[in-house]
Chains A and B, each alone.
Chain A
């Protein structure tokens, strides 16, 4: 189904006609040399529950129209949630750009996007998400809590759906709108001292297979009771898809961005073409893939392009927006982003690690002694040059003995190089799972399970870099 067909998905915050009318008004109100306007809107419905109750059932509608104007090579932005009354906002942006010019600042702002030739298609609307209304989600939450209670534990989580809209118009001829459904689920089950977690999100609520995953999570939490300590040291591991997806969060930090490339730092600037990971590993930013949260274009109206970061283990390319593309003398890959309380820059937003051909059970069967890790938690970069991150393992983690999961183990801190770990991958799972990317608009990371030969838990030993 295309986004222009009628469906019964979650309600729109704005809708195509209103959005494009507002953008047209913004362009008409501008007397700048060039003007770009984009509208983001999200109508979200979230059923959040904990143990005995749905404690945060929420409807949240957010919308913003932001304009960027260019005057004599100087650019400024202004934004408002009042999309029907945009004139004053446009004038504020124009005044700010003129003030920069009057102050004698260097005037080399990047231009706005021109109308593209053709437009990629992304599978963004699924009508089944329309049936996932507050009643259905509340019933599912009740079922999860009841089933966990019957198993001697408790369930916590959130089932939500949304319609996300993006519309862009520029004085260069761009005029586009997209409306995407979104369905997301997250569940943590605790039984005694055991726990399990499940997260997935995408455009279709049916694809989440929520009932089955509730049952699976309860079973895993039951199996994870009475965990024992995992000793520090190097272990062969099988990372579940959520644990593997955690690695993807850091590719922006590791230098797969136009700004890092322009500064001459990070993986692409310093190691392009180098074999840093196993040939089994291909990582890309691919907003056109039918996984996660596909979308066709970015805030600047530039069509999304697949950008390969690791091509069978070799460092490849970086994502760009119009600004970083101008610095690099190339074209934008469609990755403009503006994070809250940060300056605009291109970042990865739809990360996908390619699936392999090995079922997760077979990954586990290939480990004589090791550890299965369901997910990582609170991972943060320690050394972006060495691609070192730290975090802890958590929830349903088990020893692997003679190719099968045996005793549960407690979470443990790790500090590891992402490239180093990916270099030791010897098999890749056949199924992707998706998780949200923090602080990223429409951000998603999708990954398969991985088998890694040698993954260190505990403190990092001294290395030659320390001397």
Chain B
């Protein structure tokens, strides 16, 4: 298994044989009296980030880290330790600490977990990359950044703009006491742009290709080149200025066509999190929250309308939720979560699935080597329907076309939500009209999804990568969500 030259042949652990020796050292140290199961993740990660604010010096950084995380199940109790990697001594130290933690937990636990036996799964995966983002000449990045900021700040009332690029590459190596040995090489590339216009005490923001952190794809630099950043930057700057004098929508009940970026966040907050089985079982009750969905919901709970099909599929390429094996070795597979509006499965990992007597779907995700796996969304998306956005607007008739999140909030059960968007357009007789500012809408999850009438076709589908937080101490999950524009009837607007 000699690494091939190319975008994945970097770092200290590119060669799986190097990683295997460390994995075995940790596994050896993790076995002992009472240990039912152990798994080890060795992760090497490098991130390149270049950000610039208009008029200020750019900030460029590259960050490398390498560490090992060991998890053990001892007398039905978990223990975990994550340490930055030194040598084989570190691997053994992490194992010893994990065992010590599990030993103390076993003393007080009244519930013990038993994992059903699993056949070993061994394999390799690499993100397809056409252009290694780490091999792109710095000159190209600088020139593009300069052009993007110049275009975004051309309008007079744009007071500030920020743009940036990011690239990330990882080697993730996994081994467990059941014999699984997995080696995955990931590459991500992304970009972000925000322009702020201000006038007489009002500030408006426009973003591209998504708000807040921009967008990141599982791909090489070809993704950044595909974004037409300079052209879009000019549009973003103009729109930020136009929003300053745009009117607002009247509060009330309205029909909406919600664009892919906002729908992706709607999916993330009200579907992805709500279907995490560890939340459903109470594991996150103190921090991330619980769920209105109960563990007996499968096949019984009508979550949305007949138009709502929600799928988890980490095998689809190109997103931050794309992988071949999750972080406890479960092979990736396409899984329907909601079919024709009815809940069909949960986002589960081995611990949570074992507790309700189901097989895990492979949603164990962890933030590198330093954190234990929890249930995070993988690549969770709303299945497209049929037709173009134009056809969907015709079907809408009178209402609003909205997109790009500005503000989001949802209660701890993922039931009561409120969102704001950067842009909204009045739609009359199926035609897109005036730009509106400060648009907001709110509701409750089943009511919202129950009011979905139609979803545009696959040609209108867009996917987005986003970070998310969960666990104590908080760890980040990196996920993929996607949707085509979606028609929702009878939504409360003007709530903020």
Contacts and interface: CB of A to CB of B under 8 A. Distances in A.
B61 A76 contact: yes
B469 to A, nearest CB: 7
Nearest to B374: A56
Interface stretch (B21-29, B138-146, B234-242, B454-462): B138-146
Contact of B97 (A59, A62, A156): A59
Contact of A78 (B63, B79, B104, B105): B63
Given A54-B105, A59-B81, A265-B203, A459 B494 contact: yes
A390 interface: yes
A57 to B, nearest CB: 4
A175 to B, nearest CB: 22
Contacts of A327: 56
Nearest to A75: B57
Nearest to B142: A103
B411 A377 contact: yes
A391 B410 CA distance: 7
Given A56-B372, A60-B370, A265-B159, A81 B64 contact: yes
Given A100-B142, A138-B107, A413-B416, A58 B57 contact: no
Interface string B49-77: 10101001111111111110000000001
B440 A382 contact: yes
A265 B407 CA distance: 19
B254 interface: no
Nearest to B52: A343
Nearest to B80: A58
Nearest to B249: A466
Given A265-B159, A390-B418, A50 B286 contact: yes
A57 B104 contact: yes
B57 A106 contact: yes
A216 interface: no
B167 to A, nearest CB: 12
Contacts of B276: none
A61 B82 contact: yes
Contact of B62 (A78, A197, A411): A78
Interface stretch (A26-34, A185-193, A301-309, A350-358): A185-193
Given A80-B65, A341-B166, A56 B198 contact: no
B496 A57 contact: no
Contacts of A383: 438, 496
B390 interface: no
B108 A138 contact: yes
A413 B415 CA distance: 11
Nearest to B47: A341
B321 interface: no
Contact of A57 (B78, B286, B408): B78
Interface stretch (B173-181, B330-338, B472-480): B472-480
Contacts of A379: 409
Interface size class of B (residues with CB under 8 A): 35 or more
A186 B111 contact: no
Interface string B354-381: 0000000000000000111000000000
Residue of B81, B97, B285, B495 with highest tally of chain A CB at under 10 A: B285
Interface stretch (A117-125, A139-147, A278-286, A445-453): A139-147
Contacts of A51: 111, 282, 285
Interface in B460-496: 467, 469, 471-474, 476, 492, 494-496
Given A56-B472, A75-B59, A188 B407 contact: no
Nearest to B476: A340
B248 interface: yes
B315 interface: no
B128 interface: no
Contacts of A382: 407, 420, 440, 496
Interface string A400-418: 0000000000010101000
B53 A343 contact: yes
Nearest to B146: A105
A103 B138 contact: yes
B111 A380 contact: no
A462 B495 CA distance: 9
B409 A391 contact: yes
Contacts of A163: none
Interface string B340-357: 000000000001000000
B61 A145 contact: no
Contact of B108 (A63, A110, A141, A160): A141
Contacts, number: 265
A3 B411 CA distance: 41
A53 B111 contact: yes
A51 B285 CA distance: 9
A263 B160 contact: yes
B108 A142 contact: yes
Interface residues of A, number: 97
B283 interface: yes
Given A81-B64, A109-B57, A327-B56, A55 B107 contact: no
A81 B418 contact: no
B407 A390 contact: yes
B166 A105 contact: no
A328 interface: no
Contact of B101 (A57, A270, A380, A381): A57
Given A51-B282, A59-B81, A382-B440, A392 B213 contact: no
A425 to B, nearest CB: 23
Interface in B281-320: 282-287, 289
A264 interface: yes
Interface in B410-424: 410-412, 416, 418, 420
B282 A50 contact: yes
A58 B476 CA distance: 16
Interface string A151-164: 00010111010000
A466 B248 contact: yes
A55 B78 contact: yes
B32 interface: no
A154 B101 contact: no
A112 interface: no
Interface in B218-260: 248, 251
Nearest to A82: B66
Contacts of A141: 108
B60 A263 contact: no
B411 A46 contact: no
A78 B409 CA distance: 35
Interface in A29-54: 44, 46-48, 50-54
B109 interface: yes
Contact of B59 (A142, A145, A343, A459): A343
Nearest to B82: A60
B201 interface: yes
Interface centre among B202, B371, B409 (most CB of A within 10 A): B409
A63 B201 CA distance: 42
Interface in B68-103: 77-86, 97-98, 100-102
A50 B84 CA distance: 28
Contacts of B111: 51-53
B248 A79 contact: no
A230 interface: no
9 contacts: A56-B80, A60-B81, A81-B65, A110-B57, A157-B286, A263-B196, A343-B162, A379-B409, A413-B416
Given A58-B371, A74-B57, A145-B110, 16 more contacts: A47-B104, A53-B109, A53-B110, A57-B101, A60-B371, A62-B82, A76-B60, A82-B85, A100-B138, A109-B57, A186-B287, A259-B53, A343-B162, A382-B407, A390-B418, A459-B494
The 9 closest A-B pairs by CB, nearest first: A142-B108, A343-B51, A52-B111, A77-B61, A57-B101, A54-B105, A81-B65, A53-B109, A156-B285
Interface of A: 44, 46-48, 50-64, 66, 73-82, 84, 89, 92-93, 96, 99-100, 102-103, 105-110, 134-135, 138-139, 141-142, 145, 154, 156-158, 160, 186-188, 190, 197, 259, 263-265, 270, 323, 327, 340-344, 377-385, 388, 390-392, 394, 411, 413, 415, 438-439, 459-460, 462, 466
